[in-house]
Amino acid sequence: MNRRSVSLFSLALLLACSCACVSTTPTTNQAATQATATPAAQAASFPAELKPALDSITSDDILKHIKTLSSDEFEGRGPGTHGEELSVNYITEQFKRLGLKPGNPDGTYVQKVPLMGFRAEPQLSISAGGKQLSYNFPDDYVAVSRHFEPEVDVQDSDLVFVGYGNSTLDDLAQAAAAAQGRTVAPDPEPEKGSFYRSDHFEFAKQGVPALDPDSGVDYVGKPPGYGKQKRDYYTEHDYHNVTDEVKPDWDLSGAVEDAQLLFVVGYNVAQGDKYPEWKPGTEFKAKRDAMLKGAGGSL
């Protein structure tokens, strides 16, 4: 597969981008699609000072992290398991190797988070145009609350879609993608609610703009619809199955471009004179404005 589209290989890309960060010398739901520029042309499109960092992101490094984190030894990395401990230790050691300093006030890399378990029985109906529509869980929808409350009621609430174009981070991602000869498009499957299910959503709820990129469906040198077929095949045959393993025909050149794009977005945020903002009309803007006002506009 020669896919040159924005895709997150989760921790592997995180570690690859971290590697890029130490080589430098000085959060919205979207998908970037087909690339046309050559790697040399892409490199020429970014500032020259970023070249050492961007060049340090390689397919071999990404694949190495993927193989380690997805190995049987890590047991799926489930919370509260031995595999999770191995994953935390692995990532911590990579951070130490890269010279990254701990971010916790207690001097560690790991934030302690209390866990709880519960079983919900959600019910959903939508009233519109004088009609009421009922839906079955989980066949028609998925509803989850992250708060330990006996009941969460959203009766008479408006429906709001958070997606591409709602924060200035999207503009930065679009500019970085254009420099690579790529395009940015809205989520092709918004019904799955990926933004609301992502880790980035916790930032958004606190008013912090969050970027949640995902794979595009256009492939270089492939006909229209090829990417959708590959995605559907993976979902049906490999997703959460024992067959979801590293395949010998994987081409991670697209993942390299993904990591480079995310690195450039982060770099431009860090070098900019303004913090990312929600655009007018988005549901998280009021929270962000209040946060900035309370901090004197310094966040």
Tens digit of each residue's pLDDT (9 = 90 or more) over 246-298: 888 888 888 898 899 999 999 999 999 988 999 998 888 888 888 888 766 55
Most confident of 17-21, 25-29, 110-114: 110-114
Give pLDDT tens digits for 38-93: 444 454 478 889 999 999 999 999 999 999 999 999 988 988 899 999 999 999 99
Q: Which two tokens stand for residue 45?
A: 């499109």
Cβ–Cβ contacts within 10 Å for residue 116, how many?
A: 6
**Based on C-alpha coordinates, what's the Rg of the chain?**
21
Q: How does pLDDT run across 238-248, given as a tens digit for each residue?
A: 988 888 888 88
DSSP-derived letter for residue 279 is P
Res. 168: pLDDT tops 70: yes
Indicate the pLDDT class of residue 26, thresholds 50, 70 and 90.
very low
Q: What is residue 67's predicted lDDT score, i.e. its pLDDT?
A: 93
Amino acid letter for position 147: H
Confidence of residue 102 (pLDDT cuts 50, 70, 90): very high
> How far lies 86's CA from each of 37, 40, 90, 199, 248, in Å?
39, 38, 6, 20, 25
pLDDT digits (tens, 9 = 90+) for 214-232: 767 787 788 988 888 988 9
Q: What is the average pLDDT score of the chain? A: 78
Q: Is 90 exposed, middle or buried (0-12, 13-18, 19+ CB in 10 A)?
A: middle
The 10 Å Cβ neighbour count of residue 210 is 23
